[in-house]
């Protein structure tokens, strides 16, 4: 892994080779026409940085802190459900890699691993995502579990009230249980390494929920979701959680000024700018476009986290220059996991950290606090001379 993967793109290619097409498409794909998925990248590609010369780049310090947690680099892991399909070590592998890298792992409520398992391997480095389920007792149990495990930060899944449509998954018959067409059955058979891991590894289910005290079976998952999907989740749920939870609260999926204001008014500690990596609502803007408006609205009253399309160290520089406290990423770590388990996820951290250090050297930043708007080259505005002055 170390020798062959020089970029997140290399990890993606390795994942592409190792995974059956239907699994890779589940991981990589986005909603509908994938406009937002592509836009996240396009807008990051359009961010230009300003090169400085003769800057002493001997000691780039990438350490910072977010919501009271010290991190060795300004990059944390976004929550991802059902990573068991990529590799049986799933969240446990990524959580270990995150802890080793001095980062934070966000555990998804849709994860195949329980919160207990990831806290055990990455103590003090796990934030728990929660969903406001149709049966509020499920949410309450999850929150209680987080509390008893000493988890300090809850991340509310804000953008899941409406379920998305992903054409790639529909074509492959991806669901619980999957109903793949013959072409996918053949393609899967051509990936014997994956098939062996699938048959002998962690069973495909959710780690956090049970029926009658046993893990939910794959054929029961869809039914469980139907009962628990909750289109009526609202800010009242946030207000209730805020009253009951003494630790930190983050809302994920904030893409507008209005919601950023509501979040701050409800006393949240962190606003997570995210369009779910283009997987939920297609046709909306990129997160890097929404970020400056939200930073302006929040005005220092909460931490700001941004994900969506981060694939290079320079992307982290752009996100921080536009006001994020830290960046976050999903697929880069899932590609790493699929390519090589924990060492693949660890490689994703190494690659992004090395690229971040290089980018910091070129823009003349000795510390993360030096990543301010002036590191960006504003060629996009009407008067670039003034904007860069
Ligand atoms: C396989 C997969 C599963 C995901 N599951 C969740 C989830 O359970 N909860 C959530 O809020 N977001 C989920 N997301 C979205 C990520 O948290 C994150 O917002 C997105 O991946 C960021 O974009 P990036 O992949 O380009 O870094 C998932 C993303 C992927 C790729």
CATH, domain 8-388, list 3.20.20.70, 3.40.1440.10, 3.10.110.10, 3.40.720.10: 3.20.20.70
Task: Name the helix (H) or strand (E) containing 110.
Answer: none
- Nearest ligand 1 atom to the CA of 310 is 27
Of the candidates 76, 68, 79, the one whose C-alpha atom is nearest the C-alpha of residue 131 is 79
Distance CA 277, CA 269 (A): 22
Q: Which tens digit of pLDDT belongs to each residue from 148-182?
A: 999 999 999 999 989 899 999 999 999 888 999 99
For residue 385, pLDDT over 70 is answered with: no
DSSP conformational letter for 128: E
* Region of 90 on the Ramachandran plot (φ > 0 left; ψ -120 to 50 alpha; else beta): left
Q: Which tens digit of pLDDT belongs to each residue from 30-61?
A: 999 999 999 999 999 999 999 999 999 888 99
Ligand 1 site, residue 337, Cβ cutoff 6 A: no
Whether 266 is catalytic: no
Q: How far is the CA of 278 from the centre of ligand 1 (A)?
A: 9
For residue 198, pLDDT over 70 is answered with: yes
Distance CA 311, CA 340 (A): 18
The rounded percent of the chain whose pLDDT value lies above 70 is: 96
Which value, in Å, is the radius of gyration of the alpha carbons in the chain? 20
Residue with CA nearest ligand 1 atom 20: 277
- Number of Cβ atoms within 10 Å of the Cβ of 203: 11
106, 131 Cβ separation under 8 angstroms? no
Of the candidates 51, 111, 2, 44, the one whose C-alpha atom is nearest the C-alpha of residue 358 is 51
For residue 115, pLDDT over 90 is answered with: yes
């Amino acid at each position: 892994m170390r020798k062959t993967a020089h970029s997140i793109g290399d990890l993606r290619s390795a994942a592409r080779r190792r995974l059956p097409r239907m699994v890779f498409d589940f991981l990589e794909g986005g909603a509908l026409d994938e406009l937002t998925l592509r836009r996240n990248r396009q807008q990051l590609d359009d961010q230009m940085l300003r090169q400085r010369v003769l800057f002493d780049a001997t000691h780039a310090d990438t350490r910072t802190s977010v919501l009271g947690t010290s991190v060795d680099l300004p990059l944390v892991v976004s929550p991802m459900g059902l990573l068991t399909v990529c590799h049986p070590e799933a969240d446990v592998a990524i959580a270990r890699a995150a802890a080793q890298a001095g980062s934070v792992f966000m555990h998804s409520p849709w994860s195949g691993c329980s919160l207990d398992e990831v806290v055990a391997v990455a103590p003090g480095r796990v934030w728990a995502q929660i969903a406001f389920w149709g049966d509020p007792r499920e949410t309450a149990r999850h929150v209680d579990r987080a509390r008893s495990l000493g988890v300090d930060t809850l991340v509310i899944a804000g953008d899941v009230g409406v379920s998305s449509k992903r054409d790639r998954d529909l074509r492959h018959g991806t669901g619980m249980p999957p109903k793949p067409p013959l072409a996918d059955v053949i393609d899967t058979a051509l990936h014997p390494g994956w098939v062996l891991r699938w048959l002998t590894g962690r069973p495909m289910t959710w780690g956090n929920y049970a029926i009658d005290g046993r893990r939910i079976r794959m054929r029961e998952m869809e039914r469980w979701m139907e009962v628990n999907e909750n289109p009526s989740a609202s800010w009242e749920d946030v207000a209730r959680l805020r009253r009951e939870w003494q630790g930190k609260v983050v809302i994920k999926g904030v893409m507008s000024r209005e919601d950023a204001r509501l979040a701050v008014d409800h006393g949240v500690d962190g606003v997570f700018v995210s369009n779910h990596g283009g997987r939920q609502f297609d046709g909306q803007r990129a997160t890097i476009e929404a970020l400056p408006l939200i930073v302006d609205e929040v005005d220092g009253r909460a931490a700001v986290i941004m994900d969506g399309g981060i694939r290079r160290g320079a992307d982290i520089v752009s996100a921080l220059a536009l006001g994020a406290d830290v960046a976050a990423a999903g697929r880069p770590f899932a590609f790493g996991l699929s390519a090589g388990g924990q060492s693949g996820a660890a490689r994703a951290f190494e690659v992004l950290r090395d690229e971040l250090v290089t980018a910091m050297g070129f823009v003349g930043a000795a510390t993360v606090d030096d990543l301010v708007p002036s590191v960006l080259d504003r060629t996009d505005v009407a008067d670039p001379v003034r904007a860069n002055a």
